[in-house]
Amino acid sequence: MRAHADLALERRVWSSYKALSESVREGKSDVAWLPPVVYAWLAEAVNPLGCIARGDTGSYEAALVSLEASEYHALTDLRGARAGWVDPWSAAGYVVPRIELARAGIDPGKMFGVETFYGSHHEVIAALGRGECDIAGTYAQITPDEPIKGPWSSVPNLAVHVIATFTSIPSDVIAARRNLGPKEYERALEAFRLACASEDARPLVRAVFGGETLREGVDADHDRLRSAYERATAKGLFD
């Protein structure tokens, strides 16, 4: 992107989704890769460039998974289970599963014995494999006539049971802080356009973002997720 768009870039990694959000609000990040709930929190503080579509769609689903050999194979089996989550602001790895469990009449605050955050989808699946948690919240991609895929799919010799999947979740958003200058915004957007159009750069885009197609703007699913999250928060589901 530096080579093709004459754009000076410095990569920064933040310790949590909350820290990522704060970095944008405080001007420490000019352009950020935002999970859906972080994008919802930032709201008018950012201007979206678009999303990097994964596979044939920009959306995915939340999933609760357990080890195939475990006793946790249905939602009714989960009382007292040790739950592994990604981050308090992860849509697939925490927020949506809790919303959907509550919608099904299950109080997630009383269901689980211990709840632990592991920071990433890779780490929560690794913790499941090590036996540190009984169930894990993560993302899943569902394709007709194919097995459900997720971050467990790339882990050798890990047999996972998908307990449930929940709703379509909008893709992560690439966005710029609202007060970034118009010229800088356009240069950043053009850098992503060029990277996704380049035969040489597309494999690198896929390696980083999990997809290689830039879809500019955002879709209505982000507004629906934001509304559902705000209602659940008001009811104390994330206290």
Number of structural domains found in the chain? 2
Handedness of CA 156, 91, 42, 176 (dihedral sign): positive
Domain boundary among 130, 151, 169: 169
Domain boundary among 125, 140, 169: 169
Q: What CATH number is given to the structural domain containing 160?
A: 3.40.190.10
Q: What is the pLDDT of residue 58?
A: 46
Residues 105 and 51 in one domain: no
Domain boundary among 137, 169, 201: 169
Please say if the pLDDT value at position 138 is more than 90.
Answer: yes
Q: Is residue 8 part of a domain?
A: no
Q: What is the pLDDT of residue 209?
A: 87
How large a percentage of the chain has pLDDT more than 90?
A: 72
pTM recorded for the entire structure? 0.86
Q: What is the pLDDT of residue 70?
A: 96
Residues 64 and 137 in one domain: yes
- 29 beta partners: none
Please say if the pLDDT value at position 26 is more than 80.
Answer: yes
pLDDT, tens digit (0-9, with 9 covering 90-100), for 91-118 = 999 999 999 999 999 999 999 999 999 9
DSSP secondary structure of 174-209: EEEETTS-HHHHHHHHHHHHHHHH-TTTHHHHHHHH
Q: How many whole angstroms separate alpha carbon 92 and alpha carbon 183?
A: 34
